[in-house]
Amino acid sequence: MTSLTEAEAKKLKKRLLRHVGKAIQDFNMIEDGDHVMVCVSGGKDSYGMLDLLLELQRKAPIQFTITAVNLDQGQPGFPKHILPEYLDALGVAHKIVTEDTYSIVKRVIPEGKTTCSLCSRLRRGILYRVADEIGATKLALGHHRDDLMETLFLNMFYNGQLKAMPPKLLSDNGGHILIRPLAYAPEKDLAKWAEHRAFPIIPCDLCGSQENLKRKQVKRMLQAWEQESPGRLDVIFASLQSVKPSHLADPERFDFQNLKTKPREAELPFLAPMEV
């Protein structure tokens, strides 16, 4: 990747801040007085999220506090010093939590089987506990627009469900609200931003895990579509915000059973186009 000129960097930052600001507004993600726990993994996206939220915090008309939290999951070779040093230098309140979920996952999951779902469940549980300990009112995760779309297709292809990853979610126990301020931010912009800002990235394959093959396949599929028809990802994302349950086939989302004709208005002298 080539480095950005000052003008390009300024434009990129403006675009990313606009995406984050709009997502926060559209989903009422952050309210006055919130304490946002920003989950930082050491990957490009979570660094970008923290960076952009800190910038918005300085400009926002509302007051909210931020605590960055990193979970050290005991992966061999995890460079423990990188995040505390970065966060100290930034002067942001932070907490590093050490919980060896790596050993649990290795013990419980047979060799060669997928470890990510147990690992993420354990991680999520710990993050909820930490949120309670620090009194956070929101947990911010660094999933971006491409993650949301990939999840949509993964659920469609492998789970037979039409669902993506919501920008805002109430935890199953009703006790926590997760927010995804990068929900509108394209991954390629975040990658450029990470490079421009020279974030000290911690590699994400320290667990020695299998690559998440299905997600990678879906990512490749989406990228190929975008190359073939530029703008297709924008259209796919727009579909997530324009759902018509009456034109799907889920009787729980739409009352097909009780669909009745209505008294018709006077017939118009022309035929209206049929809706498909």
Q: Contact residues for ligand SF4 (CB under 6 A)?
A: 115-116, 119-120, 207, 209
User: What is the rounded distance in angstroms from the CA atom of residue 196 to the CA atom of residue 42?
Assistant: 16
119 or 127: whose CB is closer to ligand SF4?
A: 119
Identity at 266, one-letter amino acid code: A
Q: Smallest gap, in angstroms, from Cβ of residue 44 to ligand SF4?
A: 15
98 or 120: whose CB is closer to ligand SF4?
A: 120
74 or 200: whose CB is closer to ligand SF4?
A: 74
The CA distances from residue 81 to 40, 198, 229, in Å, are 14, 17, 44
- Degrees, nearest 5: CA angle 199-13-201: 10
User: What is the rounded distance in angstroms from the CA atom of residue 274 to the CA atom of residue 267?
Assistant: 15
Cβ(67)–Cβ(38) under 8 Å? yes
Q: Considering only CA atoms, which of 81, 87, 106, 95 is closest in space to residue 131?
A: 95
Q: Smallest gap, in angstroms, from Cβ of residue 42 to ligand SF4?
A: 11
103 or 120: whose CB is closer to ligand SF4?
A: 120
Q: Smallest gap, in angstroms, from Cβ of residue 116 to ligand SF4?
A: 3
Q: Smallest gap, in angstroms, from Cβ of residue 78 to ligand SF4?
A: 10
